[in-house]
């Protein structure tokens, strides 16, 4: 894929009023979500659930791409059509999660680092053959009195940059995801400071690794107090702080920014995105790449009657896509 192709795919992922659905949960993660609603965690149930999501009528009106898991990118519909073919026919760009998850960072209690660089060049080549056009790597930054250390920030952003360079070499648009967790009792000012340090480190690392910013998507958390903080922030405060930190750290050359929902309720995630777009314009589109905030309501409905509620669950997914698509334009109104 040429530089121009990378840029065109990146821009398509953040087209006006569109965002990304994240259905890249590992087998262990989806096991927990299935068990919570009483669904057996079998390969067929996982396949059926991903088909429900990816074939929801009208989904592509507000969904530009979907992040898949290794198992999912190899699966097909009940009729034997590969998911990637179904997606491309609908105008949804296939993406793939490529990191191997986090492990403790030796010497720095409480900090973690994401693994998965070993063998990544070969894995990316295979994913391209399977139909992927973009990839995702998640770094995890926790906040406590001791964390994050500067070493943890540097280790994670260095890995993100190496991954991004390998993606572009393979012809894939890299989605770089430094997630600052909501766990803890930190205030919004602390969240801001950590986001600022992480994003400055990330773009320095991308520059040092000759990564073409015009072919990168940033997936980022919002500046929110810890969920156990004594004082929570209003929707407007979260929107203002998040936009401010992005404008101070993210180059305008980037095609777009998408947010993760990361512990927020469905409506909170939509309301925050909507508020950010209402205080625009911004140097880049601000959209969404939601997992649970896109899926949870549909999963609960489907679990009650996996055959009888299939179409209704698909309608719920499409409606969540529509609401977040409107929020990406600053046009969402609660209850409508």
pLDDT at res. 336: 67
Whether residue 80 contacts residue 72, with contact meaning beta carbons closer than 8 Å, is answered with no
Domain that holds residue 55: 3-327
Choose, from 25, 177, 179, 323, the residue flagged as catalytic: 177
In the chain, at which residue ranges do the beta strands (DSSP E only) sit?
A: 19-23, 63-68, 93-97, 102-104, 112-114, 134-141, 173-180, 217-220, 256-259, 286-290
CATH number of the domain bearing residue 297: 3.20.20.70
User: Is 38 inside a domain boundary?
Assistant: yes
Q: Which of 117, 22, 69, 37 is nearest to 309 (CA)?
A: 37
Read off the pLDDT of residues 129-184 as tens digits, 9 standing for 90 and up.
999 999 999 999 999 999 999 999 999 999 999 999 999 999 999 999 999 999 99
Residue 115 annotated among the catalytic residues of the structure: no
Tokens of 98: 């490529």
Number of domains in the chain: 1
Radius of gyration, CA atoms only, the chain? 19
pLDDT at res. 263: 84
Whether residue 180 contacts residue 187, with contact meaning beta carbons closer than 8 Å, is answered with no
User: Is 140 inside a domain boundary?
Assistant: yes
pLDDT at res. 275: 98
Collect all residues with Cβ–Cβ distance below 8 Å to 28 and sequence separation of at least 6: none
User: Is 250 inside a domain boundary?
Assistant: yes
pLDDT at res. 262: 83
pLDDT at res. 3: 80
Would you call 302 exposed, middle or buried from its count of C-beta atoms within 10 A (0-12, 13-18, 19+)? buried
Positive/negative CA dihedral, 190, 283, 133, 93: positive
Q: Running DSSP on this structure, what letter comes out for residue 216?
A: -
* 13: helix, strand or coil: helix
User: Is 58 inside a domain boundary?
Assistant: yes
pLDDT at res. 64: 98
pLDDT at res. 334: 86
Residue 122 annotated among the catalytic residues of the structure: no
Positive/negative CA dihedral, 262, 264, 270, 271: negative
pLDDT at res. 4: 86
User: Is 231 inside a domain boundary?
Assistant: yes
Collect all residues with Cβ–Cβ distance below 8 Å to 118 and sequence separation of at least 6: none
User: Is 332 inside a domain boundary?
Assistant: no
Q: Which of 165, 262, 251 is nearest to 208 (CA)?
A: 165
Choose, from 18, 97, 136, 219, the residue flagged as catalytic: 219
Which residues of the chain carry a pLDDT beneath 50? Answer: none
Whether residue 179 contacts residue 159, with contact meaning beta carbons closer than 8 Å, is answered with no
Whether residue 329 contacts residue 287, with contact meaning beta carbons closer than 8 Å, is answered with no
User: Is 334 inside a domain boundary?
Assistant: no
User: Is 216 inside a domain boundary?
Assistant: yes
């Amino acid at each position: 894929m040429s530089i121009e192709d990378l840029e065109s795919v990146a821009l398509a992922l953040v087209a006006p009023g569109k965002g990304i659905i994240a259905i890249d949960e590992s087998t262990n993660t989806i096991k927990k979500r299935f068990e919570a609603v009483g669904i057996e965690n079998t390969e067929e149930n996982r396949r059926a659930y991903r088909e429900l999501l990816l074939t929801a009528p009208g989904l592509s009106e507000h969904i530009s791409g979907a992040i898949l898991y290794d198992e999912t990118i190899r699966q097909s519909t009940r009729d034997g059509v590969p998911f990637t073919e179904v997606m491309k026919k609908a105008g949804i760009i296939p993406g793939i999660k490529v990191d191997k998850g986090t492990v403790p960072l030796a010497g720095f209690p409480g900090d973690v680092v994401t693994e998965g660089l070993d063998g990544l060049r070969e894995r990316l080549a295979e994913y391209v053959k399977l139909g992927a056009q973009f990839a995702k790597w998640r770094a995890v930054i926790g906040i406590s009195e001791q964390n994050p250390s500067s070493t943890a920030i540097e280790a994670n952003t260095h890995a993100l940059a190496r991954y991004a360079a390998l993606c572009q070499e393979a012809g894939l648009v890299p989605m770089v995801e430094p997630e600052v967790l909501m766990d803890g009792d930190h205030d919004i000012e602390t969240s801001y400071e950590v986001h600022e340090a992480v994003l400055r480190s990330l773009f320095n690392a991308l520059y040092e690794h000759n990564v073409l910013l015009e072919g990168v998507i940033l997936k980022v958390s919002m500046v929110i107090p810890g969920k156990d903080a004594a004082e929570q922030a209003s929707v407007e405060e979260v929107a203002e702080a998040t936009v401010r930190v992005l404008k101070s750290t993210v180059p305008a050359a980037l095609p777009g920014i998408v947010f993760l929902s990361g512990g927020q309720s469905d409506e909170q995630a939509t309301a925050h995105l909507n508020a950010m777009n209402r205080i625009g314009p911004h140097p880049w589109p601000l959209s969404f790449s939601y997992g649970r905030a896109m899926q949870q309501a549909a999963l609960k409905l489907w679990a009650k009657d996996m055959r009888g509620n299939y179409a209704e669950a698909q309608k719920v997914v499409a409606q969540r896509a529509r609401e977040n698509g409107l929020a990406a334009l600053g046009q969402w109104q609660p209850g409508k």
